[in-house]
Every structure is written in C-alpha cells, then in structure tokens.
A and B are shown apart, each in its own frame.
Chain A
Amino acid sequence: MLIKIKYFGLLTEVTNCQEETIDFSGNIISELLELLFVKYPNLKNKEFQVAQNQELVPVEAKLLSNEIVLLPPFSGG
C-alpha cells in the first residue's frame, strides 16, 4: 500500500523533503517508522509524534490511513 508521509519542523532537514510516498506492506505504525529509520538513520535521534486521521496516535497503533504526519515539538518563541 502506498503511504504518504508528511514531515514537519526540523525533521525535514533529516529527510530533505516535506513529504514523500512509501510503499509499505505492514499494518502497525512502528513498523513503518522502522522502515524510515533505515532510510534516515538520524530520524531515530529526533523526538516526534505521529498523527493519522488528524489525531496523535501511539506508535503501537494500527495504521488506519494512507497518510501520516510526523510532528516534532517546537521550542522557539
């Protein structure tokens, strides 16, 4: 299944893109993240949350959407 992944904040500096589409056959979000960590080893060191269907979800959650968002906390003010 093709999954669209959107990156925010400093994650885009790790991935060098704001969004991309990945072919993924698993069904748990953490499995998808493992795939991304292989592609972007530095992503593993970053703090971020995952959202699907406009809701923050734990990484153990089932992938229910073909689009997920990786959202880091911002500190600037």
Chain B
Amino acid sequence: MDRYNRHIILSEIGQTGQNKLSKAKVLVVGAGGLGCPVLQYLVAAGVGTIGIIDFDVVETSNLQRQVLFGSSSLGQNKADAAKHRLLDLNNSITIISYPEKLTFQNAIELFNEYDIIVDGTDNFETRYLINDACVITNKPLVFGAIFKFQGQVAVFNYNNGPTYRCAFPKIPKQGEVPNCSEVGVLGVLPGIIGTMQANEVLKIILGIGEVLSGKLLCYDALTNKTFTIKVNRLDEEIQSILKNKDDFNKRKMDSVCKVENFEGSIKEFLNQENVQFIDVREVHEQPKVEGISVTNIPLSSFLEHLDLIDKDKKKAVFCQSGIRCKMAVFILNKHNIQDCYSINEGASEIIEILNNRHCEGGTTEAIHSNSMTHKKNTNE
C-alpha cells in the first residue's frame, strides 16, 4: 500500500511490521494536549483500531496546544471531534470514540478490548485509576505527563516491569499539583511528550528498539536537557492492586474535577417553579417542544450564548436523545453555573409526557394548551 510505503521500505518494519500495526488495538485516554499528537501519529501510522475516551468539550483555550481541533470543533466533545478529524487523516482504520468519563466502573471492560493503553489525562486520580486498571487487565501503559516546560514519559506494566505506583507510590493530595488550566503550559511541550508516547506505542507493537520500560524519561523544553531515571518494581504496590481487584469497580471518584452531572426526569421539573427549560438541539431539529417556556441554545454555539442562561433559575437541559444535554450541563458546570440538570428524556418523549400530563389533569395553563393540540391530533 502506498500510504505506508515509507514504513514498509524500512527493514526494521517491512510489510510484516505494518501488518502488526494494522492488527493492533490502542486506547488513548484523554484527547487533550498529549492525546492529540499521540492520536495523530498512531492514526497516520496505520494502527488498526484506535479508541479515544474523553468526556470534555473543546474550548478556545485548548487550541494553543490541542492540534486536532479548530474553530469548527468548539463546543464539541473531544473524543468525537478528534475522531472526525482523524478519519480524514486515515479512513482505512477503525476509530471508536467514547464521549464519556473513564471510571472505576467502565475501565476494566474497556481496557480488555485493547492491547495498549495510553495515558493522556490531566489529573492524578485518573492516572492512578488507569495504572491500576492496566495492572488488573495486564496491559502495557504508555505514560506521559507535563508541567509548565517539563515532561515525563515512561512505559509501565510492560513485561513485568514497574508500574506508575512503583515510581510514585503516594497519590498527591488534591490541589497539591496544579494542572495546565491552572498554571499554564508551553503549547509545544505536550506535542513533544505526546509524540514520544506515540513512539513507545509503535516500538511495543513492532517489537523493535528499546522500550522505555523501568525508566522515567524527564525532559525540559527550556534547556533541552533529557535524562532517564531507573524505576524499580515494587512488588508490594502491585500485589496490593491485585489483592483489591474484586473491589475495583466499586470504587468511586472523589476528585474535585469530577463531573457534577446531575440528571433527572422531565417529570420532576414540570411540577417545580423557577425552572428554565433549555433545548440544546440545533434550530432545524424537530419536533419542537411547545406548551412550556423553552430557551433554545444549540450546542454548536452554546459557549457564545451562556448569557441566555438564567442564573437565578434551576436549569433543566434537554436534547433529542439525552446525550448532548449532558455535555451542555458539563459546560455549564465548568463555567461555574450551578443548579443544572440534564433531562433523561429526549424531545419526543418530553412531548408525550406533556400530553399525558394533560390527560391526567395537567396543572399549568401552558401545558394545558399544548395538550389541546395533542388531543386534537389523537382524535384525527
């Protein structure tokens, strides 16, 4: 194949190596500063199946370093937006996006689907979660992390090598180490570190060179100094993860950056006063919800219209199927707008509920008028 010719003519790779790449399955956790370059190179290299999990949405301040995104991706989920861009880069591979948060509940099942896990996250809690899930599922972990102008790269849990907990046994206290959004980061740094992570993934798949296992590579962008430090395996750390593996999926995230994704049924909000109903579907989407006062803010331009949100009211956000409204609530929370709930029902179900409410004796005038329309329709 022409596409991979420059790989195939390398004696270290050849058609055999390229076939290994096309059979490989890699999961990238986090499509941010590190995830973008990792994904870009793995996709271009022809890694056959690539999973991307990220719950976050693209914001303007991401574009300085998260190079898969542009103006047209603002407000979109990062996993979905990355997949969209990457399929243009290479449509001969399989790319699966998971627009959700990695949790203790979904990690094991997800990791079991892949050969290699790449950590491109931005908080310790998820990093330790990924490490422990890699130990339990016995998957190599390609680790990368950054702080201002410095970065760390390592391959953990590879061929009985040490794990992240062997290097850093104690999880830092919350707020002890700030992340990029709090202290800033040189845009090109995650590009360098992420590209090094992609390199480790390719070496593991191809079985060439020396994998960065049992070592922590430290890089300083300001001085261009790189050094590696040997990390020894700590059996007690690994045994403690394995000993508690049956309780793994019962553990809960307790970080400050957890998503406060309150959700509920439309029924709970119809009886309440002081509620702003927000429809985040695009303007052309049908059916329209009538009979209650609805503010339309399409998700595609959600960030530009946050001024339409009534801060004094409880916000009940809905969409067509109940997915986009979760994203909208996430954005609202991120902008410190409190009291936001995503509605489990989609627009059609909401209309049905509003109509049934009338049949059971709806309470508000608005709902009454809506159900009149319904009554007329059903009589036809």
Could you tell me if A76 and B229 are in contact, using CB atoms closer than 8 angstroms? no
Q: Measured between alpha carbons, how far is A55 from B229 in the docked complex, in Å?
A: 5
B178 touches A77 (CB 8 A): no
Residue pair A47, B230 in contact (C-beta under 8 Å):
no
Contact between chains at B229 and A77 (CB < 8 Å): no
Given known contacts A69-B229, A77-B121, A8 and B146 CB-to-CB distance under 8 angstroms:
no
In the complex, what residue of chain B is closest to A46 when comparing beta carbons?
B176
Check A9 for interface membership: any CB of B closer than 8 A: yes
A74 touches B229 (CB 8 A): no
Q: Confirm or deny: B228 has a beta carbon within 8 angstroms of a beta carbon on chain A.
A: yes
**Once the chains bind, are B218 and A8 in contact (CB under 8 Å)?**
yes
Contact A56 B179 (CB under 8 A): no
Chain B: how many interface residues by the 8 Å CB criterion?
41
Is A76 a contact partner of B227 (Cβ separation < 8 A)? Answer: no
Contact A77 B230 (CB under 8 A): no
Cβ of A32 < 8 Å from any Cβ of B?
no
Confirm or deny: A41 has a beta carbon within 8 angstroms of a beta carbon on chain B: no
Determine how close the nearest CB of chain A comes to the CB of B289; give it in whole angstroms.
39
Q: How far is the CA of A69 from the CA of B152 in the complex (A)?
A: 14
Chain A proximity of B104: nearest CB distance (Å): 18
Minimal beta-carbon separation of A27 from chain B (angstroms): 21
A61 smallest CB distance to B (angstroms): 11
Segment 33-77 of A: residues with Cβ below 8 Å from B: 45-47, 49, 51, 54-56, 69, 71-77
Q: How near does chain A come to B172, taking the closest CB pair, in angstroms?
A: 4
Is residue B253 contacting chain A, with contact meaning CB distance below 8 A?
Answer: no
B119 to A, closest residue via Cβ: A77
Whether B145 contacts A73 by the Cβ 8 Å rule is yes
- Contact (Cβ within 8 A) B231 A77: no
- Across-interface contacts of A74 in B (CB, < 8 A): 145-147, 150-152, 177
Given A9-B150, A69-B229: A47 touches B218 (CB 8 Å cut-off): no
Interchain CB contact (< 8 A) of B229 among A47, A54, A75: A54
Q: Is B191 an interface residue (CB 8 A)?
A: no
Q: In the bound complex, do residue A77 and residue B120 qualify as a contact, i.e. CB atoms below 8 Å apart?
A: yes
* Chain B proximity mask over A1-41: 1 for CB below 8 Å, otherwise 0: 00000001110000000000000000000000000000000
Q: Which A residues are in CB contact (< 8 Å) with B167?
A: 49, 56, 73
Q: How far is the CA of A77 from the CA of B145 in the complex (A)?
A: 6
| Contact indicator B144/A47 (Cβ below 8 Å) | no
Residues on B with beta carbons closer than 8 Å to the beta carbon of A46: 172, 176
- Establish whether residues B216 and A56, one from each chain, have CB atoms under 8 Å apart when the complex forms: yes
Q: Which residue of A lies closest to B182 (CB)?
A: A76
Give the docked Cα–Cα distance between A54 and B216 (Å).
10
Shortest Cβ distance from A53 into B: residue: B230
Give the residues in chain A near B168, CB-CB below 8 Å. 47, 49, 73
Q: Are B145 and A71 in contact (CB under 8 A)?
A: no
* A61 vs B106: C-alpha distance when bound (angstroms): 40
Closest 8 CB pairs of A and B: A74-B145, A55-B230, A47-B172, A77-B122, A74-B147, A76-B146, A73-B168, A76-B180
Give residues in B with beta carbon < 8 Å to A: 30, 32-35, 119-124, 127, 144-148, 150-152, 167-168, 170-173, 176-180, 185, 190, 216, 218, 227-232
Enumerate chain A interface residues (CB-CB to B < 8 A): 8-10, 45-47, 49, 51, 54-56, 69, 71-77
Residue pairs across A and B with Cβ atoms less than 8 A apart, 7 shown, are A8-B150, A55-B232, A69-B229, A73-B167, A75-B122, A77-B120, A77-B121
